[in-house]
Structure 1
Amino acid sequence: MTSSISQPLIPTLDLQTFLTGEPKEQTQFIDAVGLALERIGFFVLSNSDVDPASIAKAYGTAERFFSLDTATKFQYEYPHLKGQAGFTRFGREQAKDAALPDLKEFWHVNRSSLQQPDHFWPQEVPEFRSAMIRLFAQLETCAGILLEACALYLDQPRTWLSEQVIEGNTVLRIAHYPPIPADAPAGSLRAAAHEDINFITLLCEATAPGLEVLTHTGDWLPLQAEPGQIIVDTGDMLQNLTNGLFKSTTHRVVNPVNPRGGRLSLPFFVHPRSEVDLSPYPACVARTGGTAHYPNLTAGEYLAQRLQEIGLA
């Protein structure tokens, strides 16, 4: 079902009201973030301090990398890393419980790859490494601020969540959705309906539309960030920790009307460290009826389970 609902269902929030606003404005931002993640699991962020030039540079170098021939790209695929760093070929990832693989390829920058030698990175695009490392750092700073707002909404110490992601398994995905192949299986999508695995995701503006969010009424709501905006959503790990107070909402990337159109996107998946306990937090259990509805497990256990479910491990 395609929704006729307009985008304002998902609020747009100005980060500067939290960083530099009066106390009342800061409180309003905290409440708006919390309510958005409770009600739909998504919001749009403006004035994030992520440099638009850094995003543009990342897209420019990404386009050059993905235009390389297949054999060259395969040189940067590292199977032992289970898709968490380097290149992952087209059709390799499959959404949990989906019948068909996604119509995409991608490069992952994780924390360990930041320290990898030059030959780990695309030698054919020398600027790729510096562009992605710069964007990774800026998005990580922004994510830490947003997690502070989330913690305050949950009546926890300001750094409760942000401390859990320090040196965590965070990943910047450089996703490429090429033109739809003529032999693509019927029903296959650029990204089948899924929920993110992590704490929160920051999604820089994509180069073309396609993202859709499943609303509580069962409608698919198209969502496209304007230049300078970042789409933010809750992942399964934060949903688990908050006992479902924050919603991890189903979303997808649909195929374009023109099958020859390509698309690039830059989602930043913010993960806690592997040893972090994701068991429903008692204060959140109390706010959600007093009964834990999610399993007791660590972030490392959760990630390993989900990587198997999506075909990367």
Structure 2
Amino acid sequence: MTRPTIPVVSYPDLLSTTVARQRAIATLGEALEAVGFFILEPHPISPEVVRRAYQVAAEVFALPESAKAQYTFPQRQGQGGFSSLGSEQAKGYTVPDLKEFWHINFHNLNGTDTPWPQEVPSFRPVMTRLYQQLMACAEVLLGACAEYLGQPQDWLVSMATGGNTVLRLAHYPAVGATPPGSLRAAPHEDINLITLLCEATAPGLEILTQQGEWLPVQTHPGQIVVDTGDMLQNLTNGLFRSTTHRVVNPRSSQQARLSMPFFVHPRPEVDLTPIDSLIRRTGGVPQFPPITAAAYLAQRLEEIQVK
């Protein structure tokens, strides 16, 4: 049996006014239906911004634990600031993930949330540029998703405007011997609308195919991996697939890894109840109950046991 491949979508084609745009939208939509993932290449994010973001992220994660700990805010359940190694545990798993991370959210950019790390002054301007570029890209992708789904082009963009979208800087350290059953990121699905993932510094991402096999996601510089989150799966009554994925441990215990997923969230009051036209398109039976984005996020944060 031939292993599935992850379709590639051209960002410039999505911006065009030619037949290439319609082909790109069709490829994007069909990929999210069948695989739940696609690769964006080329994309509009500056390679220099990505390079600098990884550089300053590495500087922050290299700080002493005592310095990083002052940016931990348990009341935010990991939605802003620093979360230490072992602070997140996937739903249904008894051991925590082998990662630490820093979250930059919408409120950070507007100066109303958690503080920025003072020890690395360049962190804020670099991450602000990256966040803004990823958000602009995400809005184009959300518009294409809406068009494929037969909705107004601003349908999903308007939901995400003002939402607490999160840029996660994830550090998977070289940890040597690991507890039995522990992974860098145990199998899970994303919570949000869509996720954009700039190329990581090392491999490890795998997705679970419909055949029950783990498929390594092989990417290179110049590509962004995009996937459906559970919230968009809900809205589309399962037409767009939120696919299980994981980050496996490296063969060498000395290999660290950095990644930068960008989780696009709707505003808390957004209704995630499947819409009628997409219920009809998926067999006529609602697959998900009515729920708001705020209630859904609270439920999922409790399930993944963020400490």
Shorter chain as denominator, the TM-score bin is over 0.9
Hey, what's the Cα distance between the residues in 1 that align with 2:285 and 2:248? 37
TM-score w.r.t. length of structure 2: 0.97
The letter of the residue matching 2:165 is: T
Q: Secondary structure at the match of 1:92?
A: coil
Hey, what's the Cα distance between the residues in 1 that align with 2:269 and 2:72? 27
> What is the deviation of 1:312?
2.1
Aligned to 2:96: 101
CA separation of 1:5 and 1:100: change in aligned 2, threshold 3 A: farther
| Correspondence 1:192-231 to 2 at 5 A | 192-231=186-225
- Verify: 1:249 aligned to 2:247, yes or no: no
Hey, what's the Cα distance between the residues in 2 that align with 1:255 and 1:17? 36
- Verify: 1:180 aligned to 2:186, yes or no: no
> What is the deviation of 1:189?
0.1
Aligned to 1:30: 25
Contact 1:180-1:255 within 8 A present in 2 as well: no
Aligned to 1:125: 120
Contact 1:277-1:299 within 8 A present in 2 as well: yes
| Correspondence 1:127-166 to 2 at 5 A | 127-166=122-161
> What is the deviation of 1:117?
7.7
> What is the deviation of 1:116?
3.1
Contact 1:78-1:85 within 8 A present in 2 as well: yes
> What is the deviation of 1:21?
5.1
Hey, what's the Cα distance between the residues in 1 that align with 2:131 and 2:289? 31
> What is the deviation of 1:72?
1.0
Hey, what's the Cα distance between the residues in 1 that align with 2:164 and 2:130? 16
Hey, what's the Cα distance between the residues in 2 that align with 1:117 and 1:293? 37
Gaps of 5+ in 1: none
- Verify: 1:67 aligned to 2:62, yes or no: yes
Contact 1:206-1:224 within 8 A present in 2 as well: no
- Verify: 1:115 aligned to 2:105, yes or no: no
Matching residue within 296, 301, 306 for 1:307: 301
Aligned to 2:44: 49
The letter of the residue matching 1:20 is: S
TM-score w.r.t. length of structure 1: 0.95
Aligned length: 307
Contact 2:80-2:113 within 8 A present in 1 as well: no
- Verify: 1:14 aligned to 2:10, yes or no: yes
Hey, what's the Cα distance between the residues in 2 that align with 1:286 and 1:244? 12
> What is the deviation of 1:207?
0.1
> What is the deviation of 1:118?
11
Hey, what's the Cα distance between the residues in 2 that align with 1:104 and 1:43? 25
CA separation of 1:128 and 1:5: change in aligned 2, threshold 3 A: farther
RMSD: 1.5
CA separation of 1:118 and 1:82: change in aligned 2, threshold 3 A: closer
- Verify: 1:90 aligned to 2:81, yes or no: no
Q: Secondary structure at the match of 2:155?
A: coil
Hey, what's the Cα distance between the residues in 1 that align with 2:114 and 2:211? 49
Contact 1:5-1:221 within 8 A present in 2 as well: no
> What is the deviation of 1:297?
0.3
1:149-202 per-residue CA deviation (whole Å, 9 max, x = no partner) reads 0000011111111111001021000000001243x3111000000000000000
Contact 1:205-1:224 within 8 A present in 2 as well: no
Q: Secondary structure at the match of 1:120?
A: coil
> What is the deviation of 1:20?
2.5
Identical pairs, percent: 55
State the 4+ residue runs in structure 1 displaced beyond 4 angstroms.
none
Q: Secondary structure at the match of 2:222?
A: coil
| Correspondence 1:230-309 to 2 at 5 A | 230-309=224-303
